[in-house]
Amino acid sequence: MTIITPTFANESLLKDAAFINGEWVKSTAEYFEVTDPATGAVIRSLPDQPLEVVDEAIDVAFEAFKSFKLTAPRQRATWLRKIFSLMMENIDDLAKILSWENGKPLAEAKGEIKYAASFFEWFSEEAPRIYGTAITPGIEGNRAFTRREPIGVCGIICPWNFPSAMIARKAAAALAAGCTVVIKPDSQTPLSALGLAHLVQEAGIPPGVFNIVLSHSKTPEFGLKLCESTKVRKVSFTGSTAVGKILMKQSASTMKKLSLELGGNAPFIVFDDADLDKAVEQAIACKFRGMGQTCVCANRFYVQRSIHDQFAVKLAEKVEKFVIGHGLDNGVTHGPMINPKSIEKVEAHVKDAVEKGAKTVLEGGRLPKLGPAFYAPTVLSHVPQTADVASQETFGPLCAIIPFETAEEVVGYANASELGLASYVFSKNVDTLYGVSEALETGMVACNTGLFSDATVPFGGVKESGYGREGSLHGLDDYTVIKTTIIGNVPKYL
């Protein structure tokens, strides 16, 4: 197995320390290793910080908030715009870091950096437009107005599958509103976060406003600290529903505001009047971004019975053309899973579906010659609705195609889940698109497209996929509170 070490134009982006109060903090007795998921080679050793570091970062952010909340919105906009510019200037290096620690192909990593940067651009434009309202109360002589104020210190807990974008989507909104942040990146992919911190510092954001703490062995304890601290007024988390529920319980004692973007089980519905080739193309783009390790990727393919077999064959033909390998190798279209253990659930879902009558259209499986974290995608047809994949999130490269007859039937199938993040509908009939999209119990419905994530549109789910919205004009809501001021007994001069 060849060990790949990329070269960087800006070596200063590759850090090996936490970032607190504008300083790079490394002193600790313990370290954890960040490895290349494709080869298992160690990229960097980072400090596995003690628990008291979280208190230190919270205190620093709390003090910084006192002055940062008073900065002019236009000044915050200037800082955010500078971060956007620096990210675009360093996009090649940032993408290499992301691909190296996460495994996704370089082109896909570069796409994530662009997406991440777009949130700093978007919220740089939203920062000066945090408006209040003027109200005429029912009580004669009274007047009222509202203003939206920054909520305070925000704890941000991020996953490994989008190590740059998830931080940017949260932190950009927080900074735009005038909040300060304490960020805990996933210990499998912390280098992207640290590279971003370097650019935040270079952009001139004041010390203490943007902080990153690091831990591998004490991740749950770090989260508990953020949830129970009275100085942290909001926690934003992207990850599993199970962990989201834990954080929700832990935050109850302080009545903390939460934004939770949790698990998904996205249905991808194709009606027989859809443009079949376009549906297959979008299915590939949707399902295999990050090798199926995304919360909004299609988990269940529902295809109307008359075109079910044709869809399955066309999809398998496309998947067979994938070039699987190290994300930094030229020509590679799809990389490894994040770790070998992540393959186990894919295998379990394949085995269960086949035992329940599913047919194998394209047999996937482990690719040990490439490395322990590599898995070739599997395509199954005639999957029964009773299969585990229909009710559980696979989070991997399994295409499970389930036939259906009517719109009523497929809506019932799609809604038979406690999760409700994203869904997809393909049809040329506007009535079908509109009616089905209204009936689906998900926070987002994409019609005739498999890719919809954009800084300009709200992102979030319903049911056990969480609550709160990120991005768009609604993205600042979760980082602000509404203060009402009433002025009574206003005199009349007429």
Q: How far apart are CA 153 and CA 140, in angstroms?
A: 39
Q: How far apart are CA 185 and CA 367, in angstroms?
A: 29
Active-site residue, selected from the candidate residues 101, 108, 261, 470: 261
CA-wise closest residue to 334 among 318, 358, 348: 318
Task: For residue 257, list its beta bridge partners.
Answer: 234
Asked if 261 is an active-site residue, the reply is yes
Residues belonging to the active site: 261
